[in-house]
Structure 1
Amino acid sequence: MRDRPSADIWRRTRPRRRGLVIVVLLIMAIGSVFAVDAIRRHIEGEADLVGDRTFYRIPDPLPEGEPGEIVRLEEIDSAPLGSTAWRVIYHTRDLAGSDVAASAVVVVPDIPAPARGRAVIAWGHPTTGAATQCAPSLDVDPFQFIEGLHEFLLEGYAVVAADYPGLGMAGASSYLLGVPESNSVLDAVRAAHDIDAAKIGTDVILWGHSQGGQAVLFAAERADGYAPELTLRGVAVAAPAADLTELMSDDIVNVSGVTIASYAIPAYEAAYAERYGTAELTAILTPSGAAATPKMADMCLLSQNKEIHAIADPLIGHYLTSDPATTEPWKTLLEENSAGSSPIRVPVFVGQGLADELVKPAATEDYVTLLCRQDTRVSFHRYPSVNHGLAAYAALPDMLGWLAAVSAGEAPPSTCR
């Protein structure tokens, strides 16, 4: 009698086991495909970099061009499986309104575009550094840090990822300077629109992490005036560097704050020297901080982290003479480059990890409160145990649901009461 139940159980479970085996084999096959694709992209990416050295060298002085006008374009052989991608150099504007060149990556899925053209996800990347060589587009795999890229391509979106001025293209750094960063994000979309094969429309959704959060929030505030031909549908951010005064006060007591300041101070010095004078701007540095800043500012965060720590760790507590958030002219400059000076009239998604020690949860809570006071429709999501580096990935499932709603012209739920 005991054999029958065993046989029955075997007959009931065998199809499940067979199904499980099939699923496992499919996962292995898919994993193998992505592994092979990753190897292919690495090999082809190395080959791309050989040509990039000449691609990024443009005439000096730069021939005049309108914002978003393409200077140079090349297809990227190492595009992700099922997509086509390009590197593009284009015209944008710096803080003073001068014409400068910037670089970006454009990726589109290999599926037919809708009649109205593809909607665009304009990506704002987190801090990679402030020196020219730290541009994401110069990486062997220029796609690996675009958080959500594969999901967006599967949904049919085009993805446009700006480097920001001073990254990729030689020139003054725009690190944490809201206007030139946001100009480059919007002008990258304009440039992508002029790539005939990309078949891009006018609908745009902005998506950024950390420094990129600041860039896309500024772009959302300024889009109507700067790029009125684009139709902004929404802006999504993860752990955004929205309030620079809080960011600096929170972080200057640790290695992250020293690193951020070492990137920001030279950028602000170049941008505001005419307004304040170099001596007044650099007076906030201690002698040891002044000596170390050029070295740190020339290092890339992801590839030279060990070297940065070796310089920055001994400077903790000895890098600045005072808190820039309370010391002029830095207080004014940080406020000018903080998001929130103009209301955002499209839906906003905000994701924040509660274990974030760089962009503190309280700072993001304060920014969301400001958005609510400005009558912005905000979808705010908190993620327990998530740190700064994983904030965008943690937010992605919720962001994709929000994205579907705003792309369809629907009003997503709002946190504001």
Structure 2
Amino acid sequence: MTDPTTLDDFYRSPTLDFNPHPGEILRRRAVATPRLRGANCAWQLVYATRTGRRAPIPASGIVITPENAELAGPSPILLYCPIFHGLGGRCAPSQLLAGEGTDPEAGFIAIALERGWTVAAPDGLGLGMTGLGPHHFLAGSAAAHAVLDLARAVRALPELDAAQAPCVAWGYADGGRAAIWAAEQQPQYAPELDLRGVAAGAVVADPGALIGEIDGGAWAGLALAGLIGLGRAYPHLPMRHLLTDEGHETIERAQELDAAELLVTYRNTPLARWCERDDPWDDPMWRYALANETSGRHAPQVPVHLYHGTEDTLVPVAMGRHLFAEYRTLGVDLSWLEYTTSHSGAAADGAAEAVARLANYLLRRPAATGPTSPSPQTT
């Protein structure tokens, strides 16, 4: 089993009895990223943020400056929202990108660095920090707060001239979900940020629908991770009241695993195996939580680029099309591209266009509402 601690005092949770401001830097240190193309200086940060219930909590992340900044003035900030890395263990992006480690999304981050952008990647609530897990997987507000408060921390980082820097957000799958939620919540939660736009692929816009699709199949480990992550994010509700004794033991083991271990260990295993009813998601508590986690209920005030693979067997393309339609109804300045490829294929094929869209967004301040969106395109 993966050790849930980092054995690194830097990541030990500080006490927040002084109620720090969201985005306040609690701890920072310079780190090397020798295997990350285009990187210059980098820092691991521990910063103050808020849970979905607005309780103060520390979170970790990494900030990486570009080797060649080509633009005059402060370097734009890319808030890079990582895919799901796991519920625990040494799998946080800020740990994997530092030293001799690697991260599965290092290539995407390198594209942004080569543009001359500073990249800030949050680990997400409960991941990276010792003793605060498991990761709040699929909790939209928690993810948004981690993203937006990291942007605040970057603006305050004394080594950077970033107090007035514009920012954009980019993510795929669960990372796309975090980017979208950050855009939806930014006007109320962090209005001082100069957010210019968002690119998000294969967005997990409706966790309830997704969990129903993958439960008991090849991706069943992610369904279990969703139960654990949302249960952690809603501590005021009895989210685990449906579990059997075996179910409680399973969760204790699973909440320390990374994504790969979850997928291998719980492949083709339905959640009903550990619950007292065959359809645990039909419980009133879970219906409430899942309904509260749908995207598209608030209009981002910045341009949004969505993309998806038509052959995606993890996050169905219909979910992305539905989010596109919801945003179009809300008058969001919107674009959409479909790629005739798989989940991982669309992540790779859509990256260049996503970065190009973000570069264009950085050149203009968005209006409060955008024009009518075009029809979906396929490539």
Instruction: Please indicate the TM-score interval, normalised by the length of the shorter structure.
Output: 0.7 to 0.9
Whether the 8 Å CA contact 2:71–2:116 is kept in 1: the answer is no
Distance 1:146 1:284 in 2: 39
Structure 1 residue 94: Cα displacement: 1.0
Counterpart of 1:242, as a letter, is A
Structure 2 match to 1:156 = 116
* More helix, by proportion: 1
Name 1:223's counterpart in structure 2: 186
Instruction: Give the number of the structure with larger relative contact order, counting CA–CA contacts within 8 Å between residues 6 or more apart.
Output: 2
1:123 pairs with 2:80:
yes
1:295 and 2:253 correspond:
yes
Matches within 5 A, 1:8-407: 53-60=8-15, 63-79=18-34, 80-82=36-38, 83-112=40-69, 114=71, 116-131=73-88, 133-139=90-96, 140-141=100-101, 143-146=103-106, 148-170=108-130, 171-172=132-133, 173-200=135-162, 201-256=164-219, 258-274=220-236, 276=237, 278=238, 281-285=239-243, 288-302=246-260, 304=261, 308-315=263-270, 318=273, 321-323=277-279, 326-385=282-341, 387-407=342-362
- Give unmatched runs, 5+ long, in structure 1: 1-50
Tell me, in whole angstroms, the C-alpha distance in 2 between the residues paired with 1:240 and 1:188: 21
Aligned Cα RMSD in Å? Answer: 2.6
Work out whether residues 11 and 128 of structure 2, in 8 Å CA contact, stay in contact via their aligned partners in 1: yes
SS in 2 for 1:341: coil
Shift, 1:310, TM fit? 3.6
Contact map agreement 1:137 1:163 (CA 8 A) in 2: yes
> Matched residues, percent identical?
25
1:263 to partner: Cα distance: 1.8
How many angstroms apart in 1 are the aligned matches of 2:328 and 2:281? 24
Whole-Å separation in 2 of the counterparts to 1:123 and 1:324:
33
Equivalents in 2 of 1:52, 1:86: separation in Å?
19
Superposed CA deviations along residues 29-69 of structure 1, whole A, max 9, x for unmatched, are xxxxxxxxxxxxxxxxxxxxxx9712212444565421111
> How far off is 1:398 after superposition?
1.6
Match of 2:3 in 1: none
- List alignment gaps of at least 5 residues for structure 2: 1-5
The aligned counterpart of 2:374 is: 415
Cα distance change on mapping 1:146 and 1:112 into 2, 3 Å = closer
Q: Specify the code of the residue in structure 1 equivalent to 2:145.
A: N
Any idea what SS the aligned residue of 2:22 has? coil
**Matched AA of 1:99:** P
Contact 2:143 2:178 in 1 (8 A): yes
In structure 2, C-alpha distance between the alignment counterparts of 1:58 and 1:292, rounded to whole Å = 25
Counterpart code for 2:364: G
Q: Secondary structure at the match of 1:122?
A: strand
* CA offsets 1:351-377 (integer angstroms, 9 cap, x no match): 111221110111111111111111112
| Separation (CA, whole Å) in 1 of partners of 2:169 and 2:28 | 23
The CA distance in 2 between the partners of 1:243 and 1:131, in whole Å, is 23
Q: Structure 1, residues 331-366: CA drift from partner, whole Å, max 9, x if none?
A: 221121121121112111111112211101111111
- In the other structure, the counterpart of 1:36 is none
Q: Whose Rg is larger?
A: 1
Q: How many angstroms apart in 1 are the aligned matches of 2:82 and 2:290?
A: 20
Q: Secondary structure at the match of 2:76?
A: strand
Change (3 A) 1:169 1:142: farther
